[in-house]
Amino acid sequence: MSVPEAAAEFISSLIARARPLQRRIVFPEGGDPRVQAAAERLARDGIAQPILIGPKSALRGVKFVDPAVSDQLRKYAGVLYERRRARGITQIEAEQMAAKPLYFAALMVAAGDADGSVGGVANTTPDTVRAALHAVGTAPGIHLVSSAYIMALQNRQFGHHGLVAFADCSVVIDPGRVELAEIAIATAETTRRLIGAEPAVALLSFSTKRSGHHPHVEKVAEALRVVRERAPSLNIDGELQLDAALVPEVGRSKAPGSTVAGRANTLIFPDLNAGNIGYKLVERLAGAAAIGPVLQGLAKPVNDISRGASVDDIFHAAILTAVQAAGARSAGA
């Protein structure tokens, strides 16, 4: 299938937002040819200022930083030590960790020497998230890091002109009711910041409005109560089956009076099984483009990409990160 028109328009809009900002995006796996190709493209197109971690190579417009010879290593180790000393880290351990590319890149972001980081082509998601948590930490009032994909659909009648945020598809395996509520609140902000739409959030389940009875259904219903306590102005509803969330006539039938049913642009899956399977089904069988993931809940942008990522995937992740960084700065992060 061809790339959805919604995807091309979305990426073009992000580029238009990122280019005047000229954010500094650091890549911890700077020796990977895919990363180098994406970085060269970012520099050539004037979208962002790429920084690659690793020995210097001849790439036009791309800065290289080698932790082994960097005069900033001691400063970054100090940042990490201050963040982690209450957990028992020693100064020597901080220096050893700061020299690792994942940590070095995240610490550049923490120290303000880069605006965002994109990694994961040679590291697992747990390793990337752990480095981000240790170096950058969560945003004020947030206790959970989660992820979201922006799905660009072939059928533009769904979501916001074909764009729908899916969460969590990569990080939180089995969220409890409070964690599910935090994922919903964070993803609503991702919808607002990246898609540019006012979120209509659906908490998904195999049940709509207690048509089914099970502890899994109760968890989703309780998550809705938590969200309404913490973010009373957020347009959210649940529990909703997928068709009730997306299809207007089904929404009117199954959840009459709901301001979300039939018009959701933000889908919150009850666990990682559902989220990961769901986004891949839509991508592979319906020809949607999965853009991301973006990590949510961090004080500054650090994003994880798949080890199977293409040059385009890395390029798009960097653009998303640059736009996230603009939002983080304006929020005072």
For residue 172, give the 3-state DSSP assignment: coil
The string of pLDDT tens digits covering residues 273-294 is: 999 999 999 999 999 999 988 9
The string of pLDDT tens digits covering residues 167-180 is: 999 899 999 999 99
- Name the residue ranges covered by the structural domains of the chain: 5-137+299-330, 146-286
Please provide residue 296's backbone torsions phi and psi, each rounded to the nearest 5 degrees: -115, 145
pLDDT, mean of residues 259-271 = 97
If you search the block for the tokens 């769901």, which residue do you land on? 278
What's the rounded Cα separation, in Å, for the pair 6 and 156?
7
What's the rounded Cα separation, in Å, for the pair 319 and 279?
21
What's the rounded Cα separation, in Å, for the pair 212 and 3?
37
Please provide residue 266's backbone torsions phi and psi, each rounded to the nearest 5 degrees: -140, 115
pTM above 0.85, yes or no: yes
Please answer whether residues 152 and 7 qualify as being in contact, where contact means their C-beta atoms are separated by less than 8 angstroms: yes
| Residue 117: per-residue pLDDT | 97
- Is the per-residue pLDDT at 64 higher than 90? yes
For residue 15, give the 3-state DSSP assignment: helix
| Topology of the domain covering 5-137+299-330 | Rossmann fold (3.40.50)
Domain 5-137+299-330 matches domain 146-286 at the CATH topology level:
yes
What's the rounded Cα separation, in Å, for the pair 174 and 4?
31
The string of pLDDT tens digits covering residues 303-331 is: 998 888 899 999 999 999 999 998 654 44
Q: What is the CATH number of domain 146-286?
A: 3.40.50.10750
> Max alpha carbon distance in the chain (Å)?
65
When mean pLDDT is compared across 38-42, 141-145, 204-208, the lowest value belongs to 141-145
If you search the block for the tokens 């973006």, which residue do you land on? 294
Residues 6+ apart with CB under 8 A from 244: 202, 208, 250, 251, 253, 254, 255, 261, 262
Please answer whether residues 147 and 293 qualify as being in contact, where contact means their C-beta atoms are separated by less than 8 angstroms: yes
